[in-house]
Amino acid sequence: MNIEQRVEEILSQMTLQEKIGQLNQVKAPLKADEEVFEQIRQGKIGSFIMATTAHAGNDDTVLTENLLINKMQRIAVEESRLGIPIIYGRDVIHGHRTVYPIPLAAAASFNPELVEKCYRNIAREAAADGVNWTFSPMLDLCRDPRWGRIIEGPGEDPYVGAVMAEACVKGFQGENISDKDSLVACAKHYIGYGASEGGRDYHRTEISDYNLYNYYLPAFRAAVNAGVGTVMSSFNDISGQPVTSGKKYLTDILRGKLGFDGFVVSDWDAVSQLKRQGVAETDADCAELAINAGLDMNMTDRVYINNLESLVESGRVSEETINTAVKRVLKIKLQKGLFQNPYCDAREIDRTVHLKDARTLAAESMVLLKNDGVLPLSKKSRVALIGPFVRERRALLGSWTLDGKAEETANFAEAMKSVIGANMLLSDDNIAVLDNSIARAVKADVVVLALGESEKVTGEAYSVSDISLPKNQVELIHRYKVLGKKVVGVFFCGRPMAMEGVAEYLDAVLYAWHSGSETANAACDILFGDVVPNGKTAVTFPKRTGHIPMYYNVTSSGRCVNCYYGENPQNCYVDSLPTPAFPFGFGLSYTKFEYGEIKADTDEILLDDLIDGKSFKITVNVKNTGDFDGKETVQLYIRDKIATVMRPLRELKGFEKRKINKNETECFTFELGYDKLGFYTENGEYTVEKGEFEIYVGENCLTKNKITVRLT
């Protein structure tokens, strides 16, 4: 019997109350609870979320014990009337016991193969602890680093978002979602949550359909194409329509245009929040709007379980609508193999390889933003290590780390001591009392400042109004710069910080992010040359908070003020120059790469031939002219010069990261076909238009290396 037949067989035996129970997700208890057990027996609970608060990312949310997980599952399978298993979900965002870089940092690796490998590791660890379903990947495109949840997504670019979406989904779900070491992935937050006004969490968004299809949807489309099992709806409204009750978004676009066939779960209490959003008066109204829009499972607020039965009886919701939602949930449970293997066997996981992979991804995610010849450091150097993040552990793991252990995380001092031993000059001074630190710095060859932000100012409900480095840390930089020493800043952050008044006072800047369990070790690998830095920014670094929003794939202005690309920036603000401190795709190396001329196999293709499968073949030679072997991410951007709507000045359409040995040359090849040269109209229809296209290939979005091709 195939899955579809099995779903129909189960559905035919269910009462209306049991059907609604499958759409009810509740908080998992942390200890035995007879009331919960009875609800399971009655078929009133379809899923548990393994979290105790809505802000699990920065709360101490412990994991439900394996024995209790199995006890509740056994009640569902053996004591309920139909024996339908529970699906257990948890916010396994960027790691479990082993923590990997926050997703914004992982995107900076530009290495989807490594990301997929690491997310496969995450799935193995979480599945061994009884998790079936992860509320990840978070795919919200974001152009405002004040928003605390920018750390959870892939940054500002839809192409990078799509590539990382595919990598994460494949990593979580593996070759077969039914494998015991796989997790059902959940693409979130669908859709537009990252556009919250002012970077204020949960606030309204204003997104045109044109921008929705071309910027915000590509990552979700990629997740759907990769087979993602579930999607989470977002809290926000779009132009006055809450997504939670938006049939246009949940059914017409997600299922109709994207072809999604899994189930949609709400975010925490989002259905009941329709009352505060002013589109519903009662809980019953909330349930009616959400289920009819296409939202299948209700998270935590019990609006469905308390109201859907009466709504069906009154005719406001059809039982067929309930049946459709239940079938989607049952299908995922069957695909996951929960009917055959419902219990957690608490397998022991050898994390040796996982930690090694975490260190590799952390190093590839870190971005060298500046280097005036001071890095890499000699392991014989006397290094004064100073700053508020010298001994910090928890922040290195980042927000949304529920199961990683700070006590297992090496701090920066420990990592550096393991490399240079007694040559590390460390003081017990705090930031306010610097006398001993200065005395040590005077004796040092170089000063390394450990700077950054706490995990407590990133994540859900932790936005900031100012992305500047705290003043006491800026003063620390100035204090040590006047000593005449070389000063290196290592930044342990979740978001890009404003770099004006900071970077110019440092001889080198390594952006180490909140990169997980191996953050400190990976940073030392780069500082001392064991790893040649190769990360690239997946989000623009502005000079000032007041320059937000700033993103590279902007459309042209009617006048000559395309400030991102240096066109009369003084005409944007009279008090500052709003060019990026560090543009999208930027990152230095210890070696140097020389780009050759871009070549195309043809400079003209008929549009009909492009539609039939022909493409432009673009090649460029890249030579490593430096003294180190190193990896380079070669990036290809296009500009549709004249179109029926305004198109971005540049948009990323391909990248490849490859190691190039010193004094050697590698040829990089890209193909630009029908799928890369078009855009979506406001109706969601894809189109490619005739005309000229500028093709840029280089080291970041500001490259001047270009050619022009034409569609006729």
Residue at 572 is within a domain: no
Q: Are residues 237 and 139 in the same domain?
A: yes
- What pLDDT, on a 0 to 100 scale, did the predictor assign at position 429? 56
Q: Which of 55, 50, 53 is nearest to 455 (CA)?
A: 55
% of the chain exceeding 70 in pLDDT: 99
Mean pLDDT across the stretch 95-107?
98
Residue-wise pLDDT tens digits, 43-58: 999 999 999 887 777 7
In whole angstroms, what is the distance from residue 144 CA to residue 155 CA? 9
Provide the phi-psi class of 551: left if phi over 0, else alpha when psi is between -120 and 50, else beta.
beta
Q: Are residues 71 and 181 in the same domain?
A: yes
Q: Which of 406, 411, 408 is nearest to 426 (CA)?
A: 411
Beta strands in 500-544 (DSSP E): 508-511
- What pLDDT, on a 0 to 100 scale, did the predictor assign at position 58? 76
% of the chain exceeding 90 in pLDDT: 94
Chain mean position to CA 432: 36
Q: How long a stretch of residues is the chain?
A: 712
Q: Are residues 65 and 136 in the same domain?
A: yes
Q: Are residues 476 and 376 in the same domain?
A: yes
Taking a C-beta distance cutoff of 8 angstroms, is the pair 384, 446 a contact?
yes
Is the per-residue pLDDT at 603 higher than 70? yes
Residue 168's domain is classified under what CATH number?
A: 3.20.20.300
- What pLDDT, on a 0 to 100 scale, did the predictor assign at position 457? 95
Query: DSSP per residue over 553-606, as a string?
Result: SPBPPSSS--GGGTSSGGGT-SSS--S-SB-TT--B-SS-EEE---EES-SEE-
Residue at 355 is within a domain: no
Taking a C-beta distance cutoff of 8 angstroms, is the pair 655, 636 a contact?
yes
Q: Are residues 663 and 529 in the same domain?
A: no
Spatial CB neighbours of 254, under 8 Å, sequence gap ≥ 6: 190, 220, 224, 231, 260, 264, 294
Q: Which of 378, 533, 352, 371 is nearest to 444 (CA)?
A: 378
The β-bridge relationship of strands 599-600 and 593-595 is unpaired
Mean pLDDT across the stretch 384-403?
96
**Does the N-terminal peptide bond of residue 354 adopt cis geometry, omega within 30 degrees of 0?**
no
Q: How far is CA 52 from CA 60, 126, 185, 543, in A?
A: 9, 17, 20, 39
Run of H or E including 166:
helix 158-173
Angle value at C-alpha 57, between 54 and 59, nearest 5 degrees? 75
Beta strands in 66-157 (DSSP E): 87-90, 133-134
The two structure tokens encoding residue 195 = 């556009």
Q: Are residues 516 and 595 in the same domain?
A: no
478, 479, 484, 486 alpha-carbon torsion, rounded to 10°: -70
Mean pLDDT across the stretch 180-198?
97
Residue at 307 is within a domain: yes
- What pLDDT, on a 0 to 100 scale, did the predictor assign at position 431? 52
Residue at 383 is within a domain: yes
Domain that holds residue 390: 365-547
Taking a C-beta distance cutoff of 8 angstroms, is the pair 412, 518 a contact?
no
The two structure tokens encoding residue 614 = 């022909």
Q: Are residues 596 and 538 in the same domain?
A: no
- What pLDDT, on a 0 to 100 scale, did the predictor assign at position 55? 76
Q: Are residues 530 and 679 in the same domain?
A: no
Q: Are residues 164 and 311 in the same domain?
A: yes
Q: Which of 335, 344, 348 is nearest to 73 (CA)?
A: 344
Is the per-residue pLDDT at 424 higher than 90? yes
Is the per-residue pLDDT at 345 higher than 90? no
In whole angstroms, what is the distance from residue 185 CA to residue 557 CA? 40
Q: Are residues 19 and 74 in the same domain?
A: yes
Residue 685's domain is classified under what CATH number?
A: 2.60.40.10
Looking at residue 169, the DSSP 8-state letter turns out to be H
Q: Which of 315, 336, 357 is the last residue of a domain?
A: 336
The two structure tokens encoding residue 197 = 């006004």
Q: Are residues 269 and 135 in the same domain?
A: yes
Residue at 578 is within a domain: no
Residue ranges of alpha helices (H) inside 91-143 are 103-107, 112-128
690, 696, 697, 703 alpha-carbon torsion, rounded to 10°: -170
Stated pTM of the model: 0.97
- In one letter, which amino acid is 28? A
Is the per-residue pLDDT at 392 higher than 60? yes
Angle value at C-alpha 343, between 342 and 346, nearest 5 degrees? 145
- Among 347-351, 428-432, 696-700, the range scoring the smallest mean pLDDT is 428-432
Residue 416's domain is classified under what CATH number?
A: 3.40.50.1700
- What pLDDT, on a 0 to 100 scale, did the predictor assign at position 54? 77
Active site residues: 267
Q: What is the 3-state secondary structure (H, E, C) of 300-330?
A: CCCHHHHHHHHHHHHCCCCHHHHHHHHHHHH
Is the per-residue pLDDT at 437 higher than 80? no
Residue at 553 is within a domain: no
Q: Which of 20, 26, 188, 9 is nearest to 92 (CA)?
A: 188
Taking a C-beta distance cutoff of 8 angstroms, is the pair 317, 288 a contact?
yes
Residue at 359 is within a domain: no
The two structure tokens encoding residue 169 = 């989904």
Residue-wise pLDDT tens digits, 228-259: 999 999 999 999 999 999 999 999 999 999 99
| Rg value, the chain, Cα | 26
Strand order in the sheet with 604-605: 604-605, 706-711, 691-698, 630-640, 651-660
Q: Which of 532, 547, 562 is the last residue of a domain?
A: 547
pLDDT interval class at 698 (50, 70, 90)? very high
Tell me how many domains the chain contains: 3
| CB-based burial, 102-128: b 16+ in 10 Å, e otherwise | bbbbbbbbbbbebbbbbbbbbbbbbbb
The β-bridge relationship of strands 630-640 and 691-698 is antiparallel
Residue at 556 is within a domain: no
In whole angstroms, what is the distance from residue 493 CA to residue 501 CA? 17
Q: Whose structure tokens read 């055959």?
A: 340
Is the per-residue pLDDT at 608 higher than 90? yes
Mean pLDDT across the stretch 73-83?
98
CB atoms within 10 A of CB 712: 12
Q: Which of 336, 354, 389 is the last residue of a domain?
A: 336
Is the per-residue pLDDT at 533 higher than 90? yes
Residue-wise pLDDT tens digits, 536-563: 999 999 999 999 999 999 999 999 999 9
- What pLDDT, on a 0 to 100 scale, did the predictor assign at position 428? 64
Mean pLDDT across the stretch 567-585?
95
In whole angstroms, what is the distance from residue 434 CA to residue 252 CA? 61
Mean pLDDT across the stretch 12-16?
98
Q: Mean pLDDT score of the chain, rounded to an integer? A: 96
Looking at residue 86, the DSSP 8-state letter turns out to be P
Residue-wise pLDDT tens digits, 211-233: 999 999 999 999 999 999 999 99
In whole angstroms, what is the distance from residue 679 CA to residue 689 CA? 9
Provide the phi-psi class of 303: left if phi over 0, else alpha when psi is between -120 and 50, else beta.
alpha
Provide the phi-psi class of 67: left if phi over 0, else alpha when psi is between -120 and 50, else beta.
alpha
Q: Are residues 251 and 292 in the same domain?
A: yes
